[in-house]
Amino acid sequence: MTTAREHELPAVAAPRVGVPWTLVALAVLLGAVLVGLVVGPVPISAGDIARSALSRLPFLDVSSPLDAAQSAIVWELRFPRVVLGGLVGGMLALAGASYQGVFRNPLADPYLLGVAAGAGLGATLVIVNGTSGDGADLLLPLASFAGGVAAVVAAYLIGRSVGGGRTTATLILAGVTVAAFFTAVQTFVQQRRTDTLNEVYTWLLGGLTTAGWRDVVTILPYVVVSATVLLLHRRTLDVMAVGDEEARSLGIDVTRVRLLIVAAATLGTAAAVAVSGLIAFVGIVVPHLVRLVVSSSYRVIMPLSLIVGAAFLVLADVIARTILSPAELPIGVVTAFIGAPFFALVLRTTRSGA
CB 178 within 8 A of CB 113: yes
Q: Which amino acid is at 133?
A: G
Residue 317, pLDDT score: 94
Residue 134, pLDDT score: 53
Residue 17, pLDDT score: 54
CB 340 within 8 A of CB 281: yes
Residue 1, pLDDT score: 39
Q: What are the DSSP calls for 67-101, one per residue? A: -HHHHHIIIIIIHHHHHHHHHHHHHHHHHHHHHHH
Q: Which pTM does this prediction carry?
A: 0.86
Q: Residue 194 gets which letter from DSSP?
A: G
Residue 352 CB-density burial (10 A; 0-12 exposed, 13-18 middle, 19+ buried): exposed
What is each CA distance from 168 to 95, 100, 107, 269, in whole angstroms?
16, 11, 14, 19
210 in helix, strand or coil? coil
Residue 224, pLDDT score: 95
Average pLDDT, the chain: 84
Torsions phi, psi of 129, nearest 5? -85, 5
Contacts of 128 (CB under 8 A, 6+ apart): 189, 190, 192, 193, 196, 200
Q: Yes or no: is domain 4-353 CATH 1.10.3470.10? A: yes
Domain range list for the chain? 4-353
CB 223 within 8 A of CB 90: yes
Residues of the chain with pLDDT under 70: 1-18, 130-138, 163-167, 210-211, 349-354
Residue 107, pLDDT score: 77
